[in-house]
Structure 1
Amino acid sequence: MGHTSAHQFRMRKAALLPLVSALLLLACGGSDETLSVTELSEKTHVHGLAVAADDPERLYIASHFGLYVADPGGTARLVSEERHDFMGFTPHPLEPQTLFASGHPHGGGNLGFLVSEDRGVTWTRRASGVRGPVDFHQMDVSPADANVIYGVYQGLLQHSADGGHTWELRGQAPQGLIELAASSRRPERLFAATQNGLLVSHDGGGNWERAHSSTAPSSTVRTVAAGHVYAYIVGVGLVQASEGSLNWRVVGEHWGDDFMLHLAVDPSDPNRMFTVNSQGRVLSSSDGGASWAPF
């Protein structure tokens, strides 16, 4: 199976995977609130990662069965009793206690746009979104303006300018969209990792152009406060550039048939990174993405 077809197959997430994950949890003791990161990745799949801005030893892991926090020793602790399927997850860029999410409740349906103001312990629906309740699989808040949030539901890009209270449609999302990343410099700039390459929009998703010359699938994209953007491109590797120039350099070699799915960069130390690979394993790097090891 070639790089592109393997990528598309895995990214589509076979319909039976949630059921298999649920059975594994029941068989292994799904009520456990503390387990190793390795056990967590074996029991369920991870939808998002983030390092707390005020505590570099706090790694959020948004999963199919709730939000966990992992410590440097590799122990993951369930944060909330609400075992939502957090398909979309992103922290507030200025308020460490505030988190945003979307996805599915444990009993089925859609969550809409959720907010937690106590680091993920309790969640409330802030809005249903357009044609909602929405289930944002791709979602990000702008580090340049925390009131600006983007989300994608049913192939349509939605935009909020008031912190997620109200939403409007911006049009079709890029075809084959995998992940969104809002600019850390301009709230109207938006990056998209897609099955057809890495794209950028300078008008809030109205128009898109290539951000990187490769047309190979881009499986993840992330911006950081320093004005840099990172992306993983199949067959190329982990690349990094200044948002202003988009002159890319490879910081980590490609992984063959494996690839990155989600990327988190420590706000206090850009050399410290975390990712989830295509097998669902959480990995860490202490040298800016040049080398990786199991968390």
Structure 2
Amino acid sequence: MPSTSRLRPIRYAGMPAAAAVLLLALSACAAPAAPSKSSSSTAVGDYPSAHIHGIAVEEASGKIMLATHDGLFDVTSKPAVKIGPTNDLMGFSPTKDEGVFYASGHPGEGSTLPNPVGLIRSSDGGKTWEQLSRQGESDFHAMTLTKSGIVASDGILRTSPDGKTWNTSAAEFQPAVLAGNPGSATVLATTEQGLQRSTDGGRTWQLLGSAPVVQFAAFATTADAIGIEPSGAVHYSSDGGVTWARKGNVNGEIQAITTAKAADGQLNIWAATGEGVLVSTDGGANFAPYSPS
């Protein structure tokens, strides 16, 4: 692994050079430098300064958590609160069960986890992590859950029914983001070539030539999905990513998104940037800064 993390430019096919977007290099992340050795929750600044790799929102409590290069943070209030040990949570996927997360990446200083950490799971909201598989082998940069199991990429696209045994997919692309839903076998993968879609839990894939070239994607339900282009254009799909409709636009350097369907049927969208979290309560037509208490 390289000694320092870095970014490299990835150009989406068919896009002009001016529209090229910086994405995290799939092979260019290393363990975070000089992190805290404490594994307890500690107060930090108003907002994490490290790069954000994932976002989770607890629908019941409204708690917003960011998985970052320096660990997991609760940004629901000011100052933000660090949760658990310092690990570079490169891959991060919440589950339908509150407080249960899957992750991957690299250990921070003082961590007892191997490097890379492989697949790990927390059942207590990120305070502690259990080693499941591929310790010392895989740094999954993209990860999602489906009813068939886990789909993840460490440079090779892999699927697992139980988080312990793994199969290798025949897909040759490297996804920037994987999006799925625990109630469905459908998976979306954002790639340089365009949006890829699987209906069998990540085993086989089809390139959706008519879909927008999105950088981020997330499912609110088994059918409702959101995609965001590098330009910030927001798109909505009601059929699991087959067809898309343009909604609105989100400004800022987006680093992670999530979405959920509200009681009124509208989609809520949270988009994490380097400066704060943006929220849409109208399906992506409009966004406003999230203001923690």
**TM-score range relative to shorter protein:** 0.7 to 0.9
Q: Which residue of 2 aligns with 1:249?
A: 245
* Equivalent in the alignment of 2:139: 135
Write 1 or 2 for the structure with the bigger share of helix: 1
TM-score in terms of structure 1 length: 0.77
Gaps spanning 5+ residues in structure 2: where? 1-8
1:199-255 deviations in Å (ceiling 9; x for gaps): 212233343323362564x21010112520111123571101112573311122365
Q: Kindly state the Cα deviation for residue 281 of structure 1 after the two structures are TM-superposed.
A: 4.2
RMSD: 3.4
- Structure 1 residue 238 corresponds to structure 2 residue 234: yes
Q: Is 1:49 the equivalent of 2:55? A: yes
Q: Which amino acid aligns with 2:281?
A: S
The alpha-carbon deviation at position 10 of structure 1 amounts to 1.9
Rounded to whole Å, the distance in 1 between the matches of 2:188 and 2:282 is 24
Listed one character per residue, the Cα deviations across residues 142-201 of structure 1 (whole Å, up to 9, x for unaligned) are 1xx2x6111101x21111112x122221233524x21001245532x2111112222212
Mapped partners of 1:4, 1:77: distance in 2: 41
Kept in 1: contact 2:103–2:121 (CA 8 A): yes
Residues 137-286 of structure 1 mapped to structure 2, 5 A cutoff:
137-142=141-146, 145=147, 148-153=149-154, 155-162=155-162, 164-175=163-174, 177-183=175-181, 185-187=183-185, 189-211=186-208, 213-214=210-211, 216=213, 218-225=214-221, 227-235=223-231, 237-243=233-239, 246-253=242-249, 255=251, 260-266=254-260, 268=262, 270-277=266-273, 281-286=276-281
What is the distance in 2 between the residues matched to 1:7 and 1:138?
23
Residue in 2 that maps onto 1:83: 86
Measured at CA, do residues 286 and 191 of structure 1 come closer, stay the same or move farther in structure 2, by a change above 3 Å?
Answer: same
What TM-score comes out, normalization by structure 2 length? 0.78
| Pair 1:226–1:285, CA change in 2 (3 A) | same
What is the CA-CA distance between 1:291 and the residue it aligns to?
2.0
Letter in 1 for 2:140: F
Distance in 2 between residues matched to 1:198 and 1:168, nearest whole Å = 22
Task: Call closer, same or farther: CA 1:244–1:16 in 2, change over 3 Å.
Answer: closer
Q: Which runs of 5+ in 1 are unaligned?
A: none
Contact 2:149 2:201 in 1 (8 A): no
Aligned residues: 269
How much does 1:16 deviate? Answer: 9.8
CA offsets per residue over residues 126-155 of structure 1, 9 Å max, x none? 1117xx53111000111xx2x6111101x2
**Separation in 2 of the partners of 1:15 and 1:167?**
20
Q: Counterpart in 1 of 2:22?
A: 10
Taking the aligned partners of 1:229 and 1:115, their CA distance within structure 2 comes to: 25
Task: Pick closer, same or farther for the CA change 1:88–1:68 going to 2, 3 Å.
Answer: same
